[in-house]
A and B are shown apart, each in its own frame.
Chain A
Amino acid sequence: MPKSQFIDPSEVRKSGKIIFKDIPVNQYEKTIDQEKENFSTEDFLRIYRDMAVIREFETMLNAIKTTNEYNGIQYNHPGPAHLSTGQEASSVGQAYLLDKDDYIFGSHRSHGEILAKGLSAIEKLSDKELLEIMESFFDGAILRVVEGKQKNKGSVKELAIDFLVYGTLAEIFARETGFHKGLGGSMHAFFTPFGIYPNNAIVGGSADISVGAALYKKVNRKKGIVIANIGDASMGCGPVWEALCMAAMDQYKLLWEGEHKGGLPFILNFFNNQYGMGGQTTGETMGYNMLARVGAGVNPEQMHSERIDGYNPLAVIDAIKRKKKILEEKNGPVMLDTLTYRTTGHSPSDASSYRSKEEIELWAGNDSLEEYMNKLIKAGVAAKEEFDAIGENVRELMTKVCKLAVDDSVSPRMDLMKRPDSISGLMFSNQRVEKMEDRECDVLISKEENPRVQQIKKKIRVGIENGKPVSKNRVYQFRDAVFEAMLDKFYTDPTLIAYGEENRDWGGAFAVYRGLTEALPYHRLFNSPISEAAIVGSAVGYALCGGRVVVELMYCDFLGRAGDEIFNQLSKWQSMSAGVLKMPAVVRVSVGSKYGAQHSQDWTSLCAHIPGLKVVFPVTPYDAKGLMNSALMGTDPVIFFESQRLYDIGEMFHSEGVPEGYYEIPIGEPDIKKQGSDITILTIGATLYTAMNAAKILEEKYGMSAEVIDARSIVPFNYEKVIESVKKTGRIVLSSDACERGSHLKDIAQNISEMAFDHLDAPPVVVGAKNWITPAHELEEHFFPQPEWIIDAIHEKIVPLKGHTAKNNFTVNEQMRISKAGI
Chain B
Amino acid sequence: MATPVIMPRQGQSVESCIIAKWYKKKGDKVQPGDILFTYETDKATFDEEAKIGGTLLELFFEEGDDVPCLVNVCVIGNEGESVDEFNPNAGQPGQEEDKKDSAEVKKEYEGEEVPDLNTGAVPNGDRELKISPRARNMAQRAGVDYRLAGGTGPQGRIIERDIVYLRENGPVLTSAARNEYMNTEGVQLPSGTGLGGRITTADLSAPAHAAAGAPVRSSEARPDYEEVKLTNIRKVIAKAMHHSISSTCQLTLNTSFDATEILAYRKKLKEGRDRLKLENITLNDIILYTVSRTILRHRDLNAHFLDDRMLYFNNVNLGVAVDTERGLMVPTVFNANLKSLNEISSEVKRIAEECQKGTVNPDLLKGGSFTITNLGTMDIESFTPVLNAPQTGILGINTIIQRAREVKGEYVYYPAMGLSLTFDHRALDGAPAARFLQDLKAGLENFSILLAK
Cα–Cα distance between A358 and B135 once the two chains are bound (Å)? 79
B219 vs chain A, min Cβ distance (A): 59
B134 interface residue per 8 A CB criterion: yes
**Distance from B418 Cβ to chain A, minimum over Cβ atoms (Å):** 53
Is residue A447 within 8 Å, beta carbon to beta carbon, of the partner chain? no
Residue from the list B135, B137, B153 in contact with A800, Cβ < 8 A = B153
Taking the closest CB of chain A, its distance from the CB of B304, in whole angstroms, is 35
Known: A730-B160, A762-B153. A800 touches B113 (CB 8 A): yes
Question: Could you tell me the distance between the alpha carbons of A462 and B135 in the complex, rounded to whole angstroms?
Answer: 42
Chain A positions 308 through 349: 1 when the CB is less than 8 Å from some CB of chain B, otherwise 0: 000000000000000000000000000000000000000000
Across the interface, which residues of B come within 8 angstroms of A757, CB to CB?
Answer: 133
Q: Render A699-717 as a binary contact track against B, CB cut-off 8 A, 1 for contact.
A: 0001100000000000000
Contact A799 B153 (CB under 8 A): yes
Tell me if B112 is interfacial: C-beta within 8 Å of chain A. yes
Interface residues of B in 409-442 (CB under 8 A from A): none
B115 at the interface (CB under 8 A from A): yes
Interface residues of A in 756-802 (CB under 8 A from B): 757-762, 796-802
Does B132 have its Cβ within 8 Å of any Cβ on chain A?
A: yes
The answer to the question of B159 belonging to the interface, with a C-beta cut-off of 8 Å to chain A, is: yes
- Is residue B143 within 8 Å, beta carbon to beta carbon, of the partner chain? no
Question: Which residues 117-170 of B have a CB within 8 angstroms of A?
Answer: 132-135, 137, 152-155, 157, 159-161
Q: Which residues of B contact A798 (CB under 8 A)?
A: 153-154
In the complex, residue of chain A having the shortest beta-carbon distance to the beta carbon of B136: A758
A804 at the interface (CB under 8 A from B): yes
Q: Please report which residues of chain B, range 297-346, place their CB below 8 angstroms from some CB of chain A when the two chains form the complex.
A: none
User: Do residues B134 and A758 form an inter-chain contact, with CB atoms below 8 A?
Assistant: yes
Q: Cβ of B223 < 8 Å from any Cβ of A?
A: no
A804 and B111 form a contact (CB under 8 A): no
Most buried by B among A703, A797, A798, A799: A799
Q: Decide yes or no: A759 and B134 within 8 Å by CB, A730-B160, A800-B153 being known contacts.
A: yes
CA gap between A702 and B112 in the complex, in Å: 8
Q: Which of A703, A796, A797 sits near B111, CB closer than 8 Å?
A: A703
Count of chain B residues with a beta carbon within 8 Å of a chain A beta carbon:
18
Query: With A703-B111, A800-B112, A800-B152 in contact, is A762–B137 under 8 Å at CB?
Result: no
Chain B min CB distance to A765 (Å)? 10
Tell me the complex Cα distance, A801–B115, Å.
10
Q: Whose C-beta in chain A lies nearest to the C-beta of B111?
A: A703
Q: How far is the CA of A730 from the CA of B137 in the complex (A)?
A: 11
- Across the interface, A799 reaches (CB within 8 A) one of B112, B133, B155, namely B112
Nearest chain-B residue to A758 (Cβ)?
B133
In the bound complex, residues from chain A placing their C-beta under 8 Å from that of B112 are 702, 799-802
Check A761 against B113 for contact (C-beta < 8 Å): no
Cα distance A702–B132 in the bound complex, in angstroms: 21
User: A799, B159: Cβ atoms under 8 Å?
Assistant: yes
> Is A72 positioned at the interface, with any CB of B under 8 Å from its CB?
no
In whole angstroms, how far apart are the Cα atoms of A730 and B133 in the complex? 9
Decide if B152 touches A761 in the complex (CB within 8 Å): no
B259-313 interface with A by 8 A CB criterion:
none
- Complex formed: what's the CA distance from A760 to B112 in Å? 19
A9 at the interface (CB under 8 A from B): no
Of all chain A residues, the one with the shortest Cβ separation from B160 is A761
Contact code string A668-696 (vs B, CB < 8 Å = 1, else 0)? 00000000000000000000000000000
Are B132 and A762 neighbours in the complex by a CB distance under 8 Å?
yes
The answer to whether residues A762 and B113 also contact, given A730-B134, A757-B133, A800-B152 and a CB cut-off of 8 A, is no
Pairwise interchain contact B154-A761, C-beta atoms closer than 8 A: no
User: B111 touching A761 by the CB < 8 A rule?
Assistant: no
Q: Is the beta-carbon distance between B154 and A796 smaller than 8 angstroms?
A: yes
Q: Which of A759, A797, A803, A812 contacts B113 (CB 8 A)?
A: A803
Whether B161 contacts A759 by the Cβ 8 Å rule is no
0 or 1 for each of A234-257: is its CB under 8 Å from B? (1 = yes)? 000000000000000000000000
B108 cross-chain contacts in A, Cβ below 8 A: 802
Proximity bits, B359-391, A CB within 8 Å = 1, else 0 = 000000000000000000000000000000000
A751 vs chain B, min Cβ distance (A): 15
- Interface positions of A from 165 to 212, Cβ below 8 Å from B: none
**Which residue from A760, A800, A801 sits with its C-beta under 8 Å from B133?**
A760
Known contacts A761-B159, A762-B159, A797-B154; A802/B111 CB under 8 A: yes
Are A758 and B153 also in contact (CB < 8 A) when A800-B113, A803-B113, A804-B113 are?
Answer: no
User: Smallest Cβ distance from B296 to chain A, in angstroms?
Assistant: 35
Chain A min CB distance to B116 (Å): 12
What is the CA–CA distance of A797 and B155 in the complex, to the nearest angstrom? 9
Across the interface, which residues of B come within 8 angstroms of A759, CB to CB? 133-134, 137
CA separation between A799 and B132, bound complex, in Å?
11
Closest to B161 in A: A799
A52 smallest CB distance to B (angstroms): 70
CB proximity of B140 to chain A, nearest CB, Å: 10
Q: How far is the CA of A163 from the CA of B104 in the complex (A)?
A: 89
Question: CA A798 – CA B153 in complex, angstroms?
Answer: 7
Please give, as numbers and ranges, the residues of chain A lying within 8 Å of B161 by CB-CB distance: 799
- In the complex, what distance in Å separates the CA atom of A804 from the CA atom of B113? 9
Least Cβ–Cβ distance between A550 and chain B, in angstroms: 45
Residue from A702, A761, A804 within 8 A of B134 (CB atoms) = A761
B155 — nearest CB in chain A belongs to which residue? A812
Contact A762 to B154, CB < 8 A, known contacts A730-B134, A799-B159, A799-B161 = yes
Q: Provide the bound-state CA to CA distance between A812 and B132, in Å.
A: 16
**B160 → chain A closest CB, angstroms:** 5
- Residues of A near B152 (CB, < 8 A) are 800
CB-defined contacts of B154 to chain A, threshold 8 Å: 762, 796-800
In the assembly, what is the distance between CA of A757 and CA of B159, in Å? 14
CB distance from B96 to the nearest CB of A (A): 32
Q: How far is the CA of A758 from the CA of B131 in the complex (A)?
A: 11
**Is the CB–CB distance between A800 and B132 below 8 Å?**
no
Nearest residue in A to B108 (C-beta to C-beta)?
Answer: A802
A726 nearest CB neighbor, chain B only: B134
Task: Chain A residues near B155: list those with CB within 8 A.
Answer: 812
B66 to chain A, nearest CB (A): 37
Docked-complex contact B113 and A760, CB < 8 angstroms: no
A702 to B113, CA, bound (A): 10
- Give the complex CA separation of A761 and B137 in angstroms: 10
Nearest neighbor of A812 in chain B, beta-carbon distance: B155
Q: Complex: how many Å from CA A800 to CA B111?
A: 11
Q: Which residues of chain B in 158-209 are interfacial with respect to chain A, using CB atoms and an 8 Å cutoff?
A: 159-161
| Complex CA distance for A286 and B8, rounded to whole angstroms | 88
Which chain A residues lie closer than 8 Å to B153 at the CB level? 761-762, 798-800
Other 17 A-B pairs with CB < 8 A, given A761-B160, A797-B154: A702-B112, A730-B134, A758-B134, A758-B137, A760-B134, A761-B132, A761-B133, A761-B134, A762-B154, A762-B157, A798-B153, A799-B112, A799-B153, A800-B112, A800-B113, A800-B115, A801-B113
Report A's interface with B, CB cutoff 8 A: 702-703, 730, 757-762, 796-804, 812
6 closest Cβ contacts across the A-B interface? A802-B113, A761-B134, A761-B132, A730-B134, A761-B160, A703-B111
For this complex, 7 residue pairs linking A to B, each with C-beta atoms less than 8 Å apart, are A761-B134, A761-B135, A762-B153, A762-B154, A800-B153, A802-B111, A804-B113
